[in-house]
Amino acid sequence: MTADALAAANQDRFAAETERFRRELLAHCYRMVGSAHDAEDLVQETYLRAWRSYAGFEGRASIRAWLYKIATNVCLTALAAHRIRVLPSGLAGPYDGPDRPPSHVAPDEVSWLEPFPDGWVTPSADDPAAAVIARESLRLALIASLQHLPARQRAILILREVLAFSAAETAQILDTTTAAVKSGLQRARARLDELEPESEQLLEPTDPRARALLDGYIAAFERSDAGLLEQVLRTDATLESTPFREWYAGRKNCIHMLDAYVLDTPGTWRMLATTANGQPAAVIYRDADGAFRANGIVVLAPTATSASQVVAFHDPALVAMFGFPDLLANRK
């Protein structure tokens, strides 16, 4: 066999052994860094490093554990050089100041959390039970809380409690001791309990009640009808959006802000249903010069009665990431 043929055979074998883990590694990197864009780059770097060291991989660990070791360390290196990603609620308490529009935050001041397309994780043909588990571990509130953990504690908690690696396997992945893993997990759990003392019981995005809430939210925007939001938002609902500093607590405050500064006139907004972070979501478009231009993504937290949280990400680049066009024809 020629050198070229041997290299091609090795590459084919590498792809056959590793490609099936790409989706879960993408979710892992997102949990670690809070950015879908960065997660894509980090998984690409993971596979480049894995290919370079593939010849020396002798099966001393499972191929999956080996890839997670590389991916986790790639993430830890990236996190050492970047600020944590947050939502507005991670900066300060809810806004209770004078009535005024929300204020933009300068791009160099804050790194914002990003939503994650559900389609990146598990295709519909895969195991439905596995899909549910994957979605639950990507809930927006959980991802936001994880970003406030020290990076290595974050890695330990994800490896142990989301991915179900043993303490010994986690220690091997992180080049540390089992005792250090157990201690780190205990501290991470305690900190997570402080950040998210009561985890919300959310509906699956496929639940008809969740879709009804999303449809109601979309209708409120497309018709510029603040009254419809009364049927969507829970009394204690919260509303936040990037890249704005202020966020709002309580249905009355949320609806007032949207009605006063966002809804505009009927036909200003158009939204297309999707899913993100295991939650119902919509792609946002805004009317501009006779066409609807990409604006961002909005994600709802649906409970059995109404939405407890709305998070809007006003970043046009996210629309393409979710597989939607940048421009829609104006339907007027």
Domain-located, residue 98: no
Domain-located, residue 214: yes
Residues 216 and 321 in one domain: yes
How confident is the prediction for the chain on average, in pLDDT?
91
Residues 223 and 312 in one domain: yes
- Number of Cβ atoms within 10 Å of the Cβ of 44: 14
Residues 122 and 212 in one domain: no
Domain-located, residue 10: yes
Tell me the per-residue pLDDT of 243-284, one tens digit each, with 9 for 90 and over.
999 999 999 999 999 999 999 999 999 999 999 999 999 999
Last residue of some domain: 145, 166, 195? 195
Q: How many domains does the chain have?
A: 2
Residues 133 and 7 in one domain: yes
pLDDT classification of 123: cutoffs 50, 70, 90:
low
DSSP 223-258: TT-HHHHTTTEEEEEEEEEETBS-EEESHHHHHHHH
Residue 99 carries which side chain, given as an amino acid letter? D
Nearest-angstrom CA–CA distance, 92 and 167: 35
Residues 229 and 81 in one domain: no
Residues 82 and 120 in one domain: yes
Domain-located, residue 281: yes
Tell me the per-residue pLDDT of 73-97, one tens digit each, with 9 for 90 and over.
999 999 998 889 999 999 999 999 9
Overall average pLDDT of the 126-148 stretch: 80
Residues 232 and 161 in one domain: no
pLDDT classification of 4: cutoffs 50, 70, 90:
low
Overall average pLDDT of the 323-327 stretch: 95
Residues 123 and 16 in one domain: yes
Overall average pLDDT of the 305-314 stretch: 97
Burial of residue 208, with CB atoms counted within 10 A of its CB: 0-12 exposed, 13-18 middle, 19 or more buried: exposed
SS3 109: coil
133 vs 192, residue with greater confidence = 192
- Give the distance, in angstroms, between the CA of residue 45 and the centroid of all CA atoms in the same chain: 20
- Residue range(s) defining the domain that contains residue 288: 208-329
Residues 287 and 155 in one domain: no
